[in-house]
């Protein structure tokens, strides 16, 4: 069974092309995206908003400190 749907892969593909052109911008700051990983994350996020089949984001791991 596929992890991601076709719609999700199209969004990631689109984000990667935008990154290559230099037109992909990140969230609030609007800074240019240079990282491939960040471009993929942006593409998946957009696909998630459009309702594509994308797994949920993993919650950050809780750190356990000894007292």
Closest among 39, 7, 42 to 20, alpha carbons compared: 39
Q: What is the 3-state secondary structure (H, E, C) of 18-44?
A: HHHHCCCECCCCCCECCCHHHHHHHHH
DSSP code, position 1: -
Comparing CA positions, the residue from 7, 4, 15 lying closest to residue 42 is: 15
Task: Write the DSSP symbol of residue 16.
Answer: H
What residue spans define the domains of the chain?
Answer: 6-49
- Give the pLDDT confidence of 9-60 residue by residue, as tens digits: 999 999 999 999 999 998 888 899 999 999 998 998 888 888 888 877 777 7
pLDDT band, very low/low/confident/very high, at 67 (cuts 50, 70, 90): low
């Amino acid at each position: 069974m596929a992890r991601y749907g076709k719609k999700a892969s199209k969004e990631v593909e689109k984000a990667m092309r935008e990154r290559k052109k230099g037109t992909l911008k990140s969230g609030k700051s609007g800074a240019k995206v240079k990282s491939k990983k960040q471009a993929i994350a942006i593409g998946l996020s957009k696909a998630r908003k459009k309702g594509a089949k994308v797994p949920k984001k993993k919650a950050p791991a809780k750190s356990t400190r000894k007292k």
